[in-house]
């Protein structure tokens, strides 16, 4: 889409969309001028011993520190910025590191950091009373000491792993500054999901509707974005595509569910901004949650189980209210959830 507006485009790292059926390892999806895409079918350890489609040619990276995937991808992304900044076209760069995915192997230079870090000991860590939770949580026993030690180790690894991502961000911003593009470029930093690290007896898992799994950071810098400001409106990752199209001067297709974040980025709060949003997960049937400023209503479709949390009064989701809530309230949440599940395009925004 950006390419159609005269942008030079590049992807570096993980490609989350499905490749075309029957596509070869050298296949490049349409719309990209430069492609440095991970080949997930060949991945073994994510950080070392990995394969990539480099503009139609397949390459392998080995086990040396120079092959560390985050650093290799950072170098490639920064090189693109420095080259593209000197051209006559505006540019769009998408970078998706594997960090800090399990096993969260880190670069040797960070091996001495976070020696005493632990998985967060929040009130929901290894939750004592899970009688209000779905069956898969109720059937999970409390952690053993060995399991807690493993979570703590993974947390240290994840923190060390993210230090290389911080290095990349610093290099990227420096490249934009050096080429005179920093004040003309929007930079978005986010993640596709969070991870439960012991909350509700769940270790290193994302596939739930708890806050730690579904609430991710979204930081934006660029023209018209006041430094240090925060917004409280409900936004979703589906808003990123229409936002980028808006910034590029393009019209978002009607099929997109999200809406542009540009007004929020400029300090404006549209009166018709959404009051709730949908979170979906397939396991194995469609399960979903309705999220508002105050409430998280969850339906596990395959097992016909429910959860309801007041995330303002109970931010750690210790007590599901689905059994004691007013039936009319539950019915209202369910109706809205089903409406959002079925909607398409503008009706979802």
**Number of residues that make up the chain:** 349
d(CA 309, CA 131): 14
d(CA 213, CA 131): 21
Place 284 in a pLDDT band, splitting at 50, 70 and 90. low
Per the prediction, the chain carries an average pLDDT of 94
Contact in structure between 52 and 38 (CB atoms under 8 Å): yes
Average pLDDT over residues 288-303: 94
Average pLDDT over residues 208-221: 96
Helix H or strand E segment including 265: helix 262-265
Reported as a single tens digit per residue, the pLDDT across 252-283 is 999 899 999 999 999 998 999 999 999 998 76
Place 42 in a pLDDT band, splitting at 50, 70 and 90. low
Average pLDDT over residues 123-152: 97
Place 26 in a pLDDT band, splitting at 50, 70 and 90. very high
Average pLDDT over residues 163-172: 98
Percent of the chain's residues with pLDDT above 90: 85
> What's the token pair of residue 144?
């053993």
d(CA 281, CA 134): 15
* Closest alpha carbon to 143 in 202, 194, 102: 202
Place 322 in a pLDDT band, splitting at 50, 70 and 90. very high
Q: Is a pLDDT exceeding 60 seen at residue 41? A: no
To the question of pTM greater than 0.85 for the whole model, the response is yes
d(CA 247, CA 267): 15
How much is the pLDDT for 4? Answer: 56
How much is the pLDDT for 44? Answer: 63
Q: Is a pLDDT exceeding 60 seen at residue 25? A: yes
Q: Is a pLDDT exceeding 80 seen at residue 59? A: yes
d(CA 135, CA 268): 43
Reported as a single tens digit per residue, the pLDDT across 66-108 is 999 999 999 999 999 999 998 889 999 999 999 999 999 999 9
Residue-range domain boundaries for the chain: 1-98, 107-226
């Amino acid at each position: 889409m950006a390419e159609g507006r005269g942008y030079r485009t590049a992807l570096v790292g993980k490609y989350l969309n499905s490749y075309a059926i029957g596509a070869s390892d050298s296949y490049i999806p349409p719309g990209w001028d430069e492609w440095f895409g991970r080949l997930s079918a060949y991945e073994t350890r994510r950080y070392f011993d990995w394969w990539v489609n480099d503009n139609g040619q397949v390459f392998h990276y080995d086990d040396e520190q120079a092959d560390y995937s985050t650093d290799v991808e950072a170098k490639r992304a920064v090189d693109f910025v420095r080259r593209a900044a000197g051209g006559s076209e505006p540019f769009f760069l998408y970078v998706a590191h594997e960090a800090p995915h399990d096993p969260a192997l880190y670069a040797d230079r960070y091996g001495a950091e976070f020696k005493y870090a632990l998985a967060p000991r929040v009130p929901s860590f290894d939750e004592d009373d899970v009688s209000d939770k779905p069956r898969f949580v109720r059937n999970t026993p409390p952690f053993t000491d060995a399991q807690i030690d493993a979570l703590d180790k993974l947390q240290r690894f994840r923190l060390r792993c993210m230090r290389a991502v911080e290095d990349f961000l610093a290099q990227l911003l420096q490249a934009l500054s050096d080429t005179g593009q920093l004040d003309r470029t929007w930079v978005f930093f986010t993640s596709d999901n969070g991870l439960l690290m012991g909350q509700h007896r769940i270790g290193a898992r994302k596939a739930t509707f708890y806050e730690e799994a579904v609430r991710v950071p979204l930081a934006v810098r660029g023209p018209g974005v006041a430094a240090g400001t925060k917004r409280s409106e409900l936004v979703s990752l589906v808003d990123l595509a229409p936002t980028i199209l808006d910034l590029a001067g393009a019209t978002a297709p009607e099929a997109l569910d999200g809406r542009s974040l540009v007004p929020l980025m400029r300090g404006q709060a549209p009166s018709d901004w959404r009051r709730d949003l949908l979170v979906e997960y397939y396991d194995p049937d469609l399960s979903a949650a309705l999220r508002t400023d105050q409430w998280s209503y969850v339906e596990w479709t395959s097992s016909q189980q429910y959860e309801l949390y007041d995330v303002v009064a109970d931010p750690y989701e210790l007590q599901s209210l689905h059994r004691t809530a007013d039936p009319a309230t539950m019915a209202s949440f369910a109706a809205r959830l089903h409406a959002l599940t079925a909607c398409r395009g503008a009706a979802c925004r």
